Amino acid sequence: MLYARVSTTKQSKEGHGIASQITRCREFAGYKGLEVVETFTDERSGSLIDRPGMKAMLDYLRRRKNGEYVVVIDDISRLARSISAHISLRTAISKVGAELLSPSIEFGEDPDSVLIENVLASISQHHAQKNGQTAVNRMRARLLNGYAVFPAPVGYRYEKTELHGKILVRDEPAATIIQEALEGFASGRFETQAEVQRFLASKPHFPFTKNGRVRPQRVTDILTRVAYAGYIEHLDWDVTLRPGHHEGLISLETFEAIQERRNSRPRTPVRKDISEDYPLRGAVDCECGKPLKSGWSRGRHGKRYAYYVCQTKDCVHYAKSIKKTDIEGAFRDMLKGLTPTRELMPVLFLAFSDMWERRTGGIEQQRAAMRKEVQQIERQAEKAIDLLVEAEGEFLTKNLEKRLQKLEHSKVVLEQKIKNCGRALPTFEEGARTAIQYLGSPCNLWDSERLEDKRLAVKLAFSERPRYTREKGFLEPEFSLPIKLLTQIDVSGSRMVGPEGLEPPTKRL
């Protein structure tokens, strides 16, 4: 029987692949007058013992232990590329009563033959390790130059170019979906990773797993991969953060905002069982301060009823069901009551416009402050390097290296902010259109059929989770700042201030 092995699928199609190995082994078997009864192949690393093809071959030989069988391999490196794996497989083949043959080497049991065999196996192992080291060095060098080398993240694919070779490019429509998810999490549209997961799962064009699901680990990978910001980093190979040559789906500032949100406590609990049936689950508290739960109950005649309930045992409202229609209806009425009058909207528009101008002004001052911060980081890095040179002990050395990595990361982030500081910003109308539309009619988001819109309506309306009981309704909710402005400003009977202002006019001398 014949056995052939390659390390990758690509090798099986190119060069000294499986087909060429089998041809050479078959020719050798014919020369020896042997009949080929079976052929077994593997596409696995030569350092591994547990290979499907090898296991199948050994099982085949065990079932036919009384027969005289020979295993033909093209070269000693095709059996294994590790001295330990070679010895283990060689022993396993001998135990099932088979003989090992090759057109490249003559196997024997005498001391000289065993020595030559072990030397060749060691050379094969050295060659494999050297190739691996060379591959790692080349990959690291490419990373240092700002090119991605690992499998393309979801939303990207590799494309060969004349100038850069293989480079990451957007893979639509997944790229746009992931971009929306990342920006939504950074802005607070999605409060938790579970909400991001539900958003991705709702998109039919997003690449799902084989079982048609979006796993939580995939969401974590998407939120934590700096490649989506157009940057390269691989600290395991001492490749610190640096700009990549590929287009980012988001800015580095957005990526940093995502990491800060991931490390902070969410305003709403992380739940996987929030569904369209209960949009207020985890977003509204009982009077005791614990989030209300939800569920279904069945009546005497089999009819199902939806309800919210407090399940905190020491609470006075424990196990007292609240009808879904009551609490959600009260919530809608409360949002409806926040709708401003037509006279208020122009005043609100001017107030937010003035705030926008103040926030976007002073670019030079912002840039100067960030440059000073970069200089401070550089001085800290120089001190850390001096300490690292004189450091003794592995613990101190590792801590200093981590410190340097953090400083380098902070410097790159600041340099990117300085670079973006002078870029043209969107106009107030473009940047605040969604917020103005929401403030003009907060109830529109709640009336949407999408769960994420309903949840967003809760987040935008309150700075803290509102509290509710079935006896008292909502208990003096803490509204967000824009909503507070709406509820406090009264334009009835007011007029615009004239050019002379509020102070008494003064005479000119």
Average the pLDDT over 366-378 and give the result.
81
* pLDDT band for position 240 (cuts 50, 70, 90): confident
Average the pLDDT over 74-96 and give the result.
87
Cβ of 256: how many Cβ atoms within 10 Å? Answer: 18
* pLDDT band for position 275 (cuts 50, 70, 90): low
Q: Which of 368 and 440 is assigned the larger pLDDT?
A: 368
For residue range 88-146, what is the model confidence (pLDDT) as tens digits?
Answer: 888 888 888 888 899 988 888 888 888 888 898 888 888 888 888 898 999 999 999 99
pTM: 0.59
* pLDDT band for position 179 (cuts 50, 70, 90): very high
Which DSSP state fits 295? E
156-161 and 293-298 strand pairing: unpaired
495, pLDDT greater than 50? no
407, pLDDT greater than 60? yes
Q: Which of 156-170, 343-357, 463-477, 478-492 has the highest mean pLDDT?
A: 156-170
What integer pLDDT is reported at residue 86 of this predicted model?
A: 87
Cα–Cα distance between 335 and 342 in angstroms, integer? 16
CA-nearest of 151, 153, 149, 152 to 164 is 149
CA-nearest of 454, 433, 246 to 353 is 433
Crossing angle between the packed helical segments 481-488 and 433-440, to the nearest 10 degrees: 50
| Beta strand ranges found along 153-211 (DSSP E) | 156-161, 165-170
What integer pLDDT is reported at residue 274 of this predicted model?
A: 53
Query: What is the rounded average pLDDT for all residues in the chain?
Result: 80
Alpha-carbon dihedral sign for residues 176, 178, 180, 183? negative
What integer pLDDT is reported at residue 392 of this predicted model?
A: 75
73, pLDDT greater than 60? yes
| Widest distance between CA atoms in the chain | 124
* DSSP assignments along 13-54, one per residue: HSSS-HHHHHHHHHHHHHHTT-----EEEEES-TT-S--HHH
* pLDDT band for position 490 (cuts 50, 70, 90): very low
* pLDDT band for position 423 (cuts 50, 70, 90): low
Bond before 477 cis per omega within 30 degrees:
no
39-43 and 473-474 strand pairing: unpaired
Q: Which residue ranges make up each domain of the chain?
A: 2-140, 156-263, 344-431
What integer pLDDT is reported at residue 263 of this predicted model?
A: 82
507, pLDDT greater than 80? no
What integer pLDDT is reported at residue 269 of this predicted model?
A: 46
What integer pLDDT is reported at residue 276 of this predicted model?
A: 67
Cα–Cα distance between 457 and 233 in angstroms, integer? 37
Long-range CB contacts (within 8 A, 24+) of 154-158:
154/178, 154/207, 154/218, 154/221, 154/222, 155/179, 155/222, 155/228, 155/249, 156/227, 156/246
62, pLDDT greater than 60? yes
What integer pLDDT is reported at residue 439 of this predicted model?
A: 65
Q: Are 57 and 36 in contact (CB under 8 A)?
A: no
* pLDDT band for position 396 (cuts 50, 70, 90): confident
Length of the chain: 509
Over pLDDT 70: what percentage of the chain?
Answer: 80
Q: Supply 106's token pair.
A: 């003559």
What integer pLDDT is reported at residue 488 of this predicted model?
A: 58
Alpha-carbon dihedral sign for residues 136, 137, 140, 146? negative
418, pLDDT greater than 80? no
> Is 156-263 CATH 3.90.1750.20?
yes
431, pLDDT greater than 90? no
CA distances 379 to 397, 400, 411, Å, are 19, 14, 11
Q: Supply 27's token pair.
A: 């020719």
Q: Which of 130-134, 230-234, 282-286, 426-430 has the highest mean pLDDT?
A: 230-234
Q: Supply 434's token pair.
A: 């969604």
- Lowest average pLDDT, out of 4-13, 272-281, 418-427, goes to 418-427
Long-range CB contacts (within 8 A, 24+) of 194-199:
194/270, 194/271, 194/272, 194/274, 195/274, 195/452, 195/455, 196/222, 196/223, 197/272, 198/274, 198/451, 198/452, 199/452
427, pLDDT greater than 70? no
Query: Which CATH number describes the domain made up of 2-140?
Result: 3.40.50.1390
What integer pLDDT is reported at residue 384 of this predicted model?
A: 81
HSE (side-chain half, CA atoms, 13 Å) at 98 = 25
215, pLDDT greater than 70? yes
